[in-house]
């Protein structure tokens, strides 16, 4: 029987350690970046980018701007639209066409505390528009807090946690993969989604979370972005307590 030499053992230990560190970084990048200090990316600051599946001409863009006028939390004056966009006159021509009728509007976020993503979505819909994607960028660490009017029992709580995990697992195009975990705060009637560390230059489609809640049968009356100090997952409930915080059978 041949035993490994001291050199081989040291190499194996080093490779194992490197592999474990790499795995931990891949699974929990937010923990490695906590000491970077700033919660908001220095590259242009936080932004909300609206991908509109239909935004073909200057008339469309003007109506989107009018719809968002006065929206709290965003700076519409510094918003940027498509660089190449047909005028209304050009779009009225019989042979007018585009490679893609969709385009984006990028909104600098001026105040995270005032920004309500449900209000943005509803305002656009009321004016005849639907944002295909609501892409958030420039905020490395954040969580989403969806306030619900209906959250009446423990089964409501469990259905959200269990079925949101199911939707995340079944996402065909990476949908909801940016969410680390989802918890339910029954007393506050709030669903909290903890996001993975968002790298500079990358975006998370917040609309996926909103659509996911709608698919599960829940319509939040507000959806806000929080950047509090404790961005890690909530601690598990004490043994013997149900999801609603009441004592379980036999206690």
Report residue 36's pLDDT band, with 50, 70 and 90 as the boundaries: very low
**Those residues with Cβ within 8 angstroms of residue 211's Cβ, 6 or more apart along the chain or in another chain:** none
Q: Which of 208, 228, 30, 233 is nearest to 133 (CA)?
A: 208
Pairing outcome for strands 204-205 and 222-226: unpaired
Cα separations in angstroms, 130 against 120, 192, 200: 10, 24, 27
Task: Record the tokens describing residue 251, joined without a space.
Answer: 């206690």
- 191-204 pLDDT, tens per residue? 999 999 999 999 99
| Alpha-carbon span 56 to 54, nearest angstrom | 6
Residue 232 has pLDDT above 60, yes or no: no
d(CA 75, CA 69): 9
- In this prediction, residue 233 has a pLDDT band, given cuts at 50, 70 and 90, of low
CA 189 from chain center: how many Å?
Answer: 19
Confidence of residue 26 (pLDDT cuts 50, 70, 90): low
Give the three-class secondary structure for 104.
strand
């Amino acid at each position: 029987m041949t035993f490994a030499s001291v050199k081989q053992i040291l190499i194996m230990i080093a490779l194992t350690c490197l592999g474990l560190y790499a795995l931990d970084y891949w699974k929990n990048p937010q923990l490695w970046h906590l000491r970077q200090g700033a919660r908001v990316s220095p590259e242009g600051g936080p932004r909300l980018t609206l991908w509109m599946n239909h935004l073909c001409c200057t008339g469309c863009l003007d109506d989107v701007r009018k719809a968002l006028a006065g929206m709290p939390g965003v700076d519409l004056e510094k918003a940027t639209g498509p660089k190449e966009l047909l005028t209304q006159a050009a779009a009225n021509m019989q042979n007018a066409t585009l490679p893609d009728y969709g385009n984006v509007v990028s909104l600098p976020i001026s105040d995270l505390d005032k920004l309500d993503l449900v209000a943005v979505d509803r305002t656009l819909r009321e004016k005849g528009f639907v944002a295909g994607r609501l892409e958030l960028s420039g905020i490395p660490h954040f969580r989403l807090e969806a306030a619900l009017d209906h959250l009446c029992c423990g089964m409501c709580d469990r259905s959200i946690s269990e079925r949101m995990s199911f939707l995340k697992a079944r996402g065909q195009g990476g949908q909801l993969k940016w969410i680390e975990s989802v918890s339910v705060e029954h007393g506050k009637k709030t669903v909290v989604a903890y996001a993975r560390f968002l790298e500079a230059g990358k975006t998370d489609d917040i609309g996926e979370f909103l659509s996911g809640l709608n698919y599960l049968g829940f319509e939040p009356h507000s959806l806000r972005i929080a950047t509090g100090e404790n961005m890690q997952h909530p601690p598990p409930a004490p043994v013997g307590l149900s999801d609603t915080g009441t004592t379980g059978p036999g206690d």
